Amino acid sequence: MKTAAKIAGAILVCLALVLVVLRITGLNPIGDTPGPGNYPGLWLNGKVVSTPVTDWSFATQYRTDKVQTRTWYLIPHSVTTGFIVHNGQLYLTSMFAAGVPFPQGKSWVTNVMRDPHVRLKFGNNLYDCILSPVTDPDERAAVLGPREKQNAQPAASNATKGPVLHLFHAVSE
């Protein structure tokens, strides 16, 4: 019995040390395009920008962003996502394949729906934000208007046979 307790204690100490190292190093998500071939990460590392962002136009110089969400088990979950900047406002995108339930189909989306406080990474800068799903059809149409002209099917909000693109409006904290 004492041996089992020692082994369990050693395992817990090792796990705690691994978490401390990962917290210090960050473990950013791997990949620069959303979707297959990417791997999620934990804490994002970089320089925290404390000034609230009112115009996200600078983000257009990047292809993607990284978003860190809060999980129910208290270890962050971060992924690479796409985004759209419309009139200086930032919208994160999440493509759901046909038949995949929203929000359960993606861990990061499930986390955002439970706790909308996130940390975004552009370049080496980190921004604390609140995400809210875009449910207003007029806002959705305005944001996706230019995109729909290029590729109508993925942008469709009520697609039953194809993928569905969900939008999340980011507001700096």
Which comes out higher in pLDDT, residue 40 or 4?
40
Of the two residues 52 and 157, the one the predictor is more confident about is 52
* The pLDDT value given to residue 159: 47
- Would the pLDDT of 162 be above 90? no
Distance CA 158, CA 153 (A): 10
pLDDT for 70-88, tens place per residue?
A: 999 999 999 999 999 999 9
Angle among Cα 125, 127, 132 to the nearest 5 degrees reads 145
Which of the two residues, 23 and 96, has the higher pLDDT score?
A: 96
pLDDT of residue 150: 46
pLDDT at 61 over 90: yes
Q: Hey, what are 94's tokens?
A: 């999440």
Residue 47: pLDDT over 70: yes
pLDDT digits (tens, 9 = 90+) for 105-145: 999 999 999 999 999 999 999 999 999 999 999 999 999 98
Phi and psi, residue 131, nearest 5°: -105, 140
How much is the pLDDT for 156? 47
Cα distances from 85 to residues 50, 58, 64, 90, 148, in angstroms, run 20, 9, 11, 5, 15
**Overall CATH class of domain 2-172:** mainly beta
Write out pLDDT tens, residues 14-40: 666 665 655 555 566 766 666 666 778
**Which one has a higher pLDDT value, 22 or 46?**
46
**CB neighbours (10 Å) of residue 157?**
14
CA 121 – CA 63 distance, rounded (Å): 12
